[in-house]
Amino acid sequence: MTPTDSKALRNAFGHFATGVTVVTTMGKDLETGHPKPVAMTANSFSSVSLDPPLVLWSIDKGSKSYGAYTNNDHFAIHILHSGQQDLSNRCASRDIDKFAGVEWSQGIGDAPLFDDFSCRFQCVVEHRYEGGDHQIIVGRVLDYKCKTDHSTNQPLLFFKGQYCDVA
């Protein structure tokens, strides 16, 4: 098949099973200019390099929070566990308060940090690359933390457009 139909191509890409992350940064309220926490669900995350420690993810240039991630070089990536489908859905929705009722604090560069995660990386942008309708963001890992307790042990997985469990 030639890749002319975006929906069919998206479905084809969806055959690649991934984990799910939520990426956060500190943006600005457009009206008041006050700091405003920003979060979005992303499964484009990949580890890149151990030395230097690099990761990447890509952001849709059409997403509402694109400006926040391009104006701020600090971000945090939270790898989600299987109990975090609600957070994933919320952070994949437009025009809602993604931080309502969620425990969070501020990390390096003011990036919002959720308390609940499987593993969390605090990063600063090392490179930005053109990626068609996405921008590819390569970040240097400045700090990271992984949890080892039972409740965070199973990953949240995404396959063919749906969440699924490890068999």
Ligand X SMILES: Cc1cc2nc3c(=O)[nH]c(=O)nc-3n(C[C@H](O)[C@H](O)[C@H](O)COP(=O)(O)O)c2cc1C
Q: Please give the residue ranges that form the binding site for ligand X (CB under 6 A).
A: 20, 40-44, 57-60, 63-65, 92-94, 158
Q: Kindly give the pairing relationship between strand 21-28 and strand 74-79.
A: antiparallel
The pair of three-digit structure tokens given for residue 120, joined into one six-digit string? 């969390």
Tokens 């500190």 belong to residue: 26
What is the chain's length? 167
Which DSSP letter does residue 80 get?
P
Least distance CB 90 / ligand X (angstroms):
10
Least distance CB 71 / ligand X (angstroms):
13
Classify 163 in phi/psi space as left (phi over 0), alpha (psi -120 to 50) or beta. beta
- Choice between 27 and 107, CB closer to ligand X: 27
Which DSSP letter does residue 152 get?
G
Asked if 155 and 166 touch (Cβ cutoff 8 Å), the reply is yes
Asked if 118 and 152 touch (Cβ cutoff 8 Å), the reply is yes
Least distance CB 53 / ligand X (angstroms):
20
- Choice between 6 and 148, CB closer to ligand X: 6
- Choice between 15 and 150, CB closer to ligand X: 15
- Choice between 44 and 70, CB closer to ligand X: 44
Least distance CB 133 / ligand X (angstroms):
9
